[in-house]
Amino acid sequence: MQEDVFPDTDDFGRIFRNNAVISADGITQIAAIMGYCVAGGGYLPVLCDTLLMTEGSGLYLAGPALVKAAIGQEVTDEELGGASMHASISGTIDFKEADDAACLERLRSLMSKNESAVAVDDFGATDAEGACRSVQDVYSIFTDKPGAQYDTRELIRCIVDKDSFDEYRAEYGQSIICGYAQVGGRSCGVVANQKQVSRPAEGGIQIGGVIYHDSADKAARFIMDCNQKDLPIVFLHDTTGFMVGRESEQHGIIRAGAKMVNAMSNTVTPKIVVIVGGSYGAGNYAMCGRAFDPFITLAWPGSRCAVMGANQATGTLAMIEARSRERKGEELDEETRQAILQAVHESYTEQQDIRHGAARGWVDRIIQPHETRREVASALQMAHAWPKGRGFRTGVLQT
């Protein structure tokens, strides 16, 4: 376990480093201990600029049981690291609060006096009924039933301001919808997976939710243009990934996908992610998955995120297991095969549930679908102070 959490560049120690560097950069950090902070977790709030703590909470490097085991000392929670001790003896905390409500009230008071934070007029006051369609219409538009389709344009109309959506290259690369819009009066770009079957001018039909070479090319060009215009980008996920097969490879799907990933990775404006349905494999990456520094990641309750769907994973991993046993001279009987299939399917079904990702910090917040417009508007407001003027450049593009 330690190899997964302790020594590497992005493991726990990196959080300590980030606390210190962020403070040096003049970014205010206020921590509120409303529970227990133990061992390494105890350093994080103390590395912040201001520290609040509620009565009944604990802050110490080792709890009473470990202290007793290590040095034989018997000590209470309060003596070891209670709020009163840290307020009056160690001098570690700045504010001792009676309970959570008082602590949150103090936080608001401190933030109201923080002149380093840029004020926003009427923050959160977005009119939720200012979209083209009612925000409640998302429930009648969206479907996650296997094989079912919906028009993502109609979903976008529930989110963006009325008559503000200017679709980019609407007739080209139709499996991704791109366009300029406003949400709550703030301008942004929108990159969304189209979940409706489309028919390009050349070639056969394109399956909804799949990223094809032409749509990846279009999205890359659009993302670059948003950077040129200093526009935040909202990514709406409902994708099974990139198209595979002979025709797709011959059209350069890897080249086009790499171009989209390159442009998205180097984006210097805020990237706001909303996972509404599936977000699978390289499709998750190209649409600004967690590894690509989104400003905020939101998700609907029934959404899913994984390297591949449970059904595909089940067949693939069962095949690998069967071939592995064959190489060892073992015969895989039907009962064993079904047991493997069931175990893999259950594991993937559990892990693709968005709650699995949220519990691990891969999603910032699970939101109700009808709250999407308000949440995106709030995210755009939060991003208002994003530094301007950073030069946008990509790596070498395979054109």
Fold agreement between 2-112 and 135-302+353-385: yes
Predicted pLDDT at 102: 95
Q: Region 208-218: what's the mean pLDDT?
A: 94
Task: Give the pLDDT band (50/70/90) at residue 128.
Answer: very low
The beta strand positions in the chain, using DSSP E, are 30-33, 36-38, 50-54, 58-60, 95-97, 166-168, 176-183, 186-193, 210-211, 233-239, 241-242, 271-280, 296-299, 304-306, 365-366
Q: Region 341-350: what's the mean pLDDT?
A: 78
pLDDT above 90 coverage of the chain, percent:
55
Predicted pLDDT at 395: 83
Predicted pLDDT at 77: 92
β-pairing, 36-38 vs 271-280, is: unpaired
Task: Look at residue 186 and tell me whether its pLDDT is greater than 50.
Answer: yes
What is the average pLDDT value for the chain, to the nearest integer? 88
Task: Give the pLDDT band (50/70/90) at residue 126.
Answer: low
The Cα–Cα gap between 256 and 254 comes to 6
Domain ranges (residues) in the chain: 2-112, 135-302+353-385
Task: Give the pLDDT band (50/70/90) at residue 28.
Answer: confident
Q: Domain 2-112 maps to which CATH number in 3.30.70.20, 3.40.50.720, 3.30.950.10, 3.90.226.10?
A: 3.90.226.10
The Cα–Cα gap between 182 and 164 comes to 6
Per CATH, the homologous superfamily of domain 135-302+353-385 is 2-enoyl-CoA Hydratase; Chain A, domain 1 (3.90.226.10)
User: Residue 316 corresponds to which tokens in the numbers above?
Assistant: 């693939």
280 in Cβ contact with 306 (< 8 Å):
yes
Task: Give the pLDDT band (50/70/90) at residue 39.
Answer: confident
Q: Region 4-11: what's the mean pLDDT?
A: 66
Q: Region 348-366: what's the mean pLDDT?
A: 87
